[in-house]
Amino acid sequence: MKLENHHLETTLSFIQNQASSINERLTYHWIPNISNSCQSQVEENLNLWCHIVAKGNKEKFKQRLAFEGFTLDKISLILAEGTFSPDTPLPEWLITLKKVIQKAENLELSQLPENIVNSTKIPFEPIYTPFIQVAWDKLRQKTKSNLDLLNNDSLVVLEQQLINQLAYLCTSVLLEEFKNFRSSGNEMKEFILTQLKESKSNNKYKQFLDDLLSDNLISFFEKYSVLGKLSAILINYWVEANQEFITRLNNDLPEIERLFSSDKPLKQVIDIQVGLSDSHERGRSVIALKFDTGLKLIYKPRNIHLDVNFYQFLNWFNQKSNLIPLKTIKIIHRDNYGWIEFLSSLPCNSEQEAKNFYYRYGMLVCLTYTLEGSDFHFENLISHGDNPMLIDLEGLLQPRTKANNDDNGISLTEGAESSILKGSTAQHASTASVGKLIQESVFRTFLIPIEYSFLNDDVNVNVGGLAVEEEKKIQQIAINNINSDAMNLGLKEVVFTQRNNLPVLNNAILSPKDYLEDIVQGFKETYEFLLKKKKLLLSKESPFLLLKNQNTRYLFRNTNTYNTILSNSYHPSLLKSGIKRSIALDVLSRAFLGMKNPEKLLPILRTELREMEDLDIPCFTSNTSINGVYVGKGEMVSDMFEKPSFESLMTRFENFSHKDLEQQVQMICSAFYAQLVKQPQPISLISTDDYSQKQNLSLSDSTSLNQELLSRQVVKIAEDLEKNAVALTTSSEAQRNSLMSTDEGITWLSLEYRAKTNGFRFPGLNPGLYDGNSGIALFLSALYKITQDERWKNLTDRSLKTIQNNIRQLTKYPKIQERLVKKTGISGTRGICSIIYSLVKMSELLQEPILLEDAHSLTGLITPDLIKKSSFPIIDGLASSILGLLALSKTELASASIKSHSLKIAKECGEYLLQYQQTDDKNIKTGFTHGLAGISYSFFRLFALTDDKRFLEAGKQALQQEQNFFSPIDKNWANDSSDNAVFNVSWTNGASGIALSRLGISHIYNDNLIQEDINNALETTQKYCFGEVDNLCWGNFGRLETLLVASKKLNQPSLLEFSYQGVNSLLSRAESAGNFQLFSGLPPLIFNPSFHHGSSGIGYQLLRFAHPDLLPSILLWE
């Protein structure tokens, strides 16, 4: 369509007004249209804004407006429709968009190459033709003959980058418009076209493109004005970034040739990879280029002086340490960019090279730990033969942000790495010092395994430097039937393959689990070398000074947060109105509303919003010698950090010691061990002979307990707990050097079991019984009960103080109560009811009724909503919640009101647990913690105290259901109904747990079936009693507890004698090995203090064998 200039100018003015952001209207003279018709639109925008930033809280929304000095009346004028004053300068993007519209004037599909019109790779590719034409016109004009430095293939890559960026931005809008265009009003016809029929026709699709182009895209941009604006911004950024890159390449080519290719002249770039990093500073990102000689380089459009000086430090380290040298690389650095030697992924050539790789990796862990490094995840590491190489050094000397606590005691400004590191540690303020300890440890480097949980903990992903990625296929949202009449949104299978971060030998990926000793050795020897050079490194001649006064990147938030918010802002509804998109982006301000003193940080928020309005990922810089963050041009937010990062480096190094070395090595090992822990192989998959060999245990001849050996091992467990305790103090020096010198609470670093994935993560101690502080405190209480040794009373009191601090947290900060309770859950294994149960048992053991007040206070947190959101089984479910509450309702130390209140809540949990009967049979499991045995046990226990026949019948029904899984041949129960069902013998999901549950209900309900179950389960338990591991959950002591209970309830001394023989044998094995075997395939000396999977549970069970009448069965929640 022929364009008339006055019509085009009117159109562009309309687009500019519609696309304008809140910030643009504030910056320039906005003239609002004050009319009643506009008022409803203003109210709609205000309500949307209030909902997005303050979740509908009007007082908080007023606080947000007050950040900028706005009143509702003032901001309403900005939100109203209107126009810019005539003297407002024309934005650069609008000039570009005008050229795009003009290019579209003469565009017809018939004139385009066939491969573009019928492309099946990029949705709506022909539409981008005028955009690309404008981009090339502008780039050629700016670069002139310098463009010849890149061959045609490289230019195609640059063009494809812009097309992909435009498609990412525009596809959702174009798809929605196409869906409306082709709609016939017949839903069935549409369904057949898009879902059932693979249509090859593209007639409707071509008609749609013709329709869009019929008025030169004007109608399209009038409707989606923000999309027009952002598309033009993309073009301008693409031109600016590539013009700068090509000009720099031309200027630096002689120096590049001199340093990297002195024997071969460089003529032209023949291959290029773009977009190798996030987009910062107007669309700039890292580029890899290959010359005609084969030389490969990396172009980084940022200051890389820190990289240069790091490699200078490495040169000093290599010369002085006499260790295996770490590879250094060539670099050309300019003020704001540089050229870096390209590092390709190369295999190892021998087993020795593989060992060298992992040894060097340990060295790098130590050096990055020393140099305050962070964020060196798997994408920032490449395996280059026997050299692990960090490919992005921006993570060095990362400053530690000062906590800016909200009125709930939660820090909102801890830096981006905290969001993942805190996901691996306890989520309670009373263990904040543990989080601090972790964030000041090797974990901060991300070079050791770091678990990132999402989808409500259904998925755990290791994002650490050595993350192993097996090839896997997942379903992702994608466009199906691209550029056909049937084009639609659907799912597409995407294959993820192994990354380049792990070494390879003979085409096989070498797992770090086989080279942990080399990693540790590399770390220790590097640490020891630095300790020897401590005097020099702290002096005025210190090589560390190379890293002083260097620019470094500061991550205020996780990059994924920015990417998600930016992606969400491309929704079609937000691409029509600049105001609505500004409001959507302002979700970034939500975190600031809870801060005590947000004013200081507002420049950061304003920078974030300004850069994301224009498609950039916010990027902040600091300096290693300055306590502040640069925002905008020359502006700085000062006093942001605990201290400048170079000072932090020196302070850290001053605190280097052999004790710190020992602690860091323990963390490294535990982090890798958490990745390796697997449940022992089911007995049904092991032959009887193989099982006997795996036991590696000869039963003791003595049928009496070896009390001396038992006492020695119990004390050793307690001493290990004492030695490894972490004091809850804000002083990291006290944590490192004097853990036991205060009266503060204590906690431990531990492997935490993740029920949903049947795996572990470290560090992850929670407040609960199963693998948290409560379980450890329960063991210590029992130890004091038996020994009356004040040493253990002190340790008990300090562990109790931690639990009580967790409870106080919920009272002191009621606004975060809901979040913490939701995170903790209400289960009797690791949730609120497990803490209740533990407090009840400790109050009885210590004869301290005051602990019941804490237990009672926790019952007030159990709401109907939490009950309804809980799962059913013992593990993290309602069945164990009931058992924890019943303990409080039965204890003689509690008042009548506490007892009745607890029983009332237990009954409410039972009411909802009754719904398990409607559970799909395919999801039903057997066993104590995950299945029907535990659920039935809980129902019978509840019936015994309520006399409610519904619970009795539900318990009987669960028993009957479980019987469907019984195999008379195996005398055991299959774990589920799947084709891959197996038989286990463990307490958690095998015969011993089923036997224990039946024994636990036999005094409440008993018939021939229960007696048969007990006999069968005990026979199987005794036959397969001893396996590889000793812990309660999966191992030997859990099975022995079943036999102990059976010996008492069934009055069978032979079972007790057998149990004593087993205990004596396990004690002897532990004495020889130095520790009990907590996990299969891992060294016995691993420290894991948790109750069900660790040493404290074994310690308690040993005490219970010696004093069964004094200590209750924790595995039965007695």
Instruction: Indicate the annotated binding residues.
Output: 1033
Q: Is the Cβ–Cβ distance between 1093 and 1085 less than 8 Å? A: no
CA gap 995, 45 in Å, rounded: 63
DSSP 892-906: TTS-HHHHHHHHHHH
Residues 608/611/617/621 CA torsion (nearest 10 deg): -70
Q: How far is CA 901 from CA 308, 858, 907, 951, in A?
A: 67, 12, 10, 19
Distance, first Cα to last Cα, the chain? 84
Q: How far is CA 1095 from CA 649, 745, 1070, 1087, in A?
A: 36, 20, 12, 8
Q: Is the Cβ–Cβ distance between 327 and 384 less than 8 Å? A: yes
CA gap 1095, 1092 in Å, rounded: 8
CA gap 118, 403 in Å, rounded: 56
Amino acid at 712: R
Nearest Cα to Cα of residue 654 among 542, 524, 747:
542
CA gap 942, 885 in Å, rounded: 10
Binding-site residue positions for Zn(2+): 1033
Q: Is the Cβ–Cβ distance between 1037 and 1105 less than 8 Å? A: no
Q: Is the Cβ–Cβ distance between 152 and 105 less than 8 Å? A: no
CA gap 150, 789 in Å, rounded: 79
Q: How far is CA 298 from CA 304, 392, 506, 961, 984, in A?
A: 12, 11, 28, 63, 54
Q: How far is CA 29 from CA 17, 42, 689, 872, in A?
A: 12, 18, 87, 61
CA gap 528, 507 in Å, rounded: 35
For CA atoms 352, 354, 359, 364, the dihedral sign is positive
Q: How far is CA 614 from CA 81, 414, 470, 1015, in A?
A: 21, 26, 37, 72
**Kind of pairing, strands 551-554 and 620-623?**
antiparallel
Give residue for tokens 């994935």: 757
Cβ contacts of 114 within 8 Å, gap of 6 or more: none
Q: How far is CA 352 from CA 326, 512, 881, in A?
A: 16, 14, 53
CA gap 946, 566 in Å, rounded: 55
Nearest Cα to Cα of residue 930 among 695, 751, 758:
758
CA gap 551, 549 in Å, rounded: 7
Three-class DSSP category at 923: helix
Give me 1104's structure tokens: 């219970």
Give me 1081's structure tokens: 């395939």
- Residue 544 burial (CB count, 10 A): 18
Phi and psi angles of residue 61, each rounded to the nearest 5 degrees, phi first: -65, -40
Which strand (E) or helix (H) includes residue 1107?
A: none
Residue 113's region, left for phi above 0, alpha for psi from -120 to 50, else beta, is beta
Strand runs labelled E in 311-411: 331-333, 338-341, 381-384, 387-390
